[in-house]
């Protein structure tokens, strides 16, 4: 067998497709392996570059391969797709991964540690609980509206209403509906407790991280945003500058330019939706509660005087992302006096 220098792995739940290439791009093998056979097979090969798409379980396999001394690299699936030459199948995908990982201009995804992945899963669980809570509140309000009882909008107002004002309308509801509202209220309380527990656990596991402490000093960045940033992008070394991080988060204009004519649209909305949402929420809070003593507030006021508030919020989120990169990459504390207008 000729020496394999590049390995492309198309991951799946049970069956992996593994393609091996030489340094000249010749395919040596392209075979299927079961999950429990994968590492045993790779150990028989010389140390080489192993490419995989960044997908479910990819970070785990990358960590395992790195432990064995292989150079594991992860790529976004959309960057691999152009290298698929024929119809889509596992063999063509594995070969495309092999070719893509050797490109000098390829952008790679940092391999996350097990702690980073665990923290992100806590964030995802919290996000799912918030969706469940919103759905529960909507069902509760809709159910009571069928009997002429109108509950206030907003989770905080609804909680107060259930405690102080619901008793005035309880007798208007049939007995089964009264029991159902009780179950709704108990379920809402349990979800609130679970969300609070997850938030406390996230803060506990990131409180000793220096980057976490630095990020908390940035306006518009709270505990959840700081921990999500630390767990997702690590040291920010994979980004050359702050604009790259903002572009990765989908906070820069979408572009369609040709023939020297630039055409810009709304933000691209690419990348991590959860992180982008947290940053925009933080920016909205900054715009709503402007602190006149902060240097960045003058820049925000100038923006508000000439454009729509929602555009300003996105621009502030972009600014926060750039500040985040500078703080994490340079390992310095946030300095309000250094914020450029």
Which among 70, 64, 53, 82 has a CA at the least distance from the CA of 5? 70
- 221-237, pLDDT tens digit by residue? 999 999 999 988 877 88
- 120-137, pLDDT tens digit by residue? 999 999 999 999 999 999
**pLDDT at position 51, please?**
95
% residues pLDDT > 70 (the chain): 98
Domain that holds residue 169: 114-206
Residue 340 has pLDDT above 70, yes or no: no
Query: Are residues 223 and 317 part of one domain?
Result: yes
Query: Are residues 334 and 227 part of one domain?
Result: yes
317, part of any domain: yes
Domain count, the chain: 3
| Residue 134 CB partners (closer than 8 Å, separation 6+) | 155
- Which of 77, 109, 141 is the last residue in one of the domains? 109
1, part of any domain: no
Instruction: Report, as an integer, the average pLDDT of 291-315.
Output: 88
Transcribe 107-170 into DSSP letters: -EEPPPPHHHHHHHHHHHHHHHHHHHHHHHHHHHHHHHHTTT--PPSSHHHHHHHHHHTHHHHG
Residue 260 DSSP symbol? T
Q: Give 72's strand partners.
A: 50
pLDDT confidence bin for 185, thresholds 50/70/90 = very high
- Which of 171, 186, 206 is the last residue in one of the domains? 206
- Which of 57, 75, 109 is the last residue in one of the domains? 109
Query: Are residues 250 and 139 part of one domain?
Result: no
Task: Give me the CATH number covering residue 37.
Answer: 3.30.420.140
Query: How far from 186 is each of 66, 136, 182, 306, CA to CA, in Å?
Result: 47, 11, 6, 48
The answer to whether residues 75 and 100 touch, using CB atoms and an 8 Å cutoff, is: yes
Q: Between 10 and 292, where is the model more confident? A: 10
| Residue 58 CB partners (closer than 8 Å, separation 6+) | 11, 52, 74
Query: Are residues 194 and 92 part of one domain?
Result: no
Query: Are residues 218 and 321 part of one domain?
Result: yes
Query: Are residues 245 and 157 part of one domain?
Result: no
Instruction: Report, as an integer, the average pLDDT of 89-96.
Output: 93
Query: Are residues 234 and 294 part of one domain?
Result: yes
Residue 239 has pLDDT above 90, yes or no: no
pLDDT confidence bin for 74, thresholds 50/70/90 = very high
What are the tokens at 156?
A: 């905080």
Say which range, 9-13, 85-89, 90-94, has the weakest mean pLDDT. 85-89
CA gap 62, 73 in Å, rounded: 7
CA gap 123, 222 in Å, rounded: 14
Q: Where are the alpha helices (DSSP H) in 234-308?
A: 242-248, 273-288, 295-304
Name the pTM for this structure.
0.84
Query: How far from 24 is each of 3, 5, 28, 249, CA to CA, in Å?
Result: 10, 9, 11, 36
pLDDT confidence bin for 272, thresholds 50/70/90 = confident
The answer to whether residues 80 and 96 touch, using CB atoms and an 8 Å cutoff, is: yes
């Amino acid at each position: 067998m000729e020496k394999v220098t590049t390995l492309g792995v198309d991951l799946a739940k049970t069956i992996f497709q593994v393609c091996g290439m030489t340094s000249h791009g010749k395919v040596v093998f392209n075979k299927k392996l079961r999950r429990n056979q994968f590492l045993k097979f790779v150990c028989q090969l010389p140390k080489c570059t192993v490419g995989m798409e960044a997908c479910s379980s990819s970070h785990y396999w990358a960590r395992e391969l790195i432990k064995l001394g292989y150079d594991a690299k992860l790529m976004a699936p959309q960057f691999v797709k152009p290298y698929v030459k024929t119809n889509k199948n596992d063999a063509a995908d594995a070969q495309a991964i092999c070719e893509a990982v050797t490109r000098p201009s390829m952008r790679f995804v940092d391999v996350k540690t097990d702690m980073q992945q665990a923290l992100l899963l806590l964030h995802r669980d919290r996000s799912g609980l918030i969706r469940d809570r919103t759905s529960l509140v909507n069902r509760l309000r809709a159910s009571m509206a069928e009997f002429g009882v109108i509950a206030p909008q907003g989770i905080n107002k609804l909680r107060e209403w259930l405690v102080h004002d619901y008793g005035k309308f309880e007798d208007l509801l049939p007995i089964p509906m009264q029991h159902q509202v009780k179950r709704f209220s108990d379920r809402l309380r349990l979800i609130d407790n679970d969300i609070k527990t997850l938030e406390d656990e996230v803060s506990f596991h990131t409180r000793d991280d220096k980057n976490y402490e630095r990020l908390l000093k940035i306006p518009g960045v709270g505990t959840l945003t700081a921990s999500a940033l630390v767990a997702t992008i690590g040291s920010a070394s994979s980004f050359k500058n702050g604009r790259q991080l903002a572009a990765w988060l989908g906070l820069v204009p979408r572009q369609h330019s040709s023939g020297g004519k630039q055409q810009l649209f709304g933000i691209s909305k690419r990348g991590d939706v959860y992180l982008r949402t947290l940053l925009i929420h933080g920016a909205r809070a900054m715009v709503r509660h402007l602190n006149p003593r902060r240097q960045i507030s003058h820049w925000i006021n100038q923006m508000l005087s000439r454009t729509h508030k929602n555009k300003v919020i996105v621009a502030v989120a972009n600014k926060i992302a750039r500040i985040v990169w500078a703080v994490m990459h340079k390992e310095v504390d946030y300095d309000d006096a250094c914020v450029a207008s």
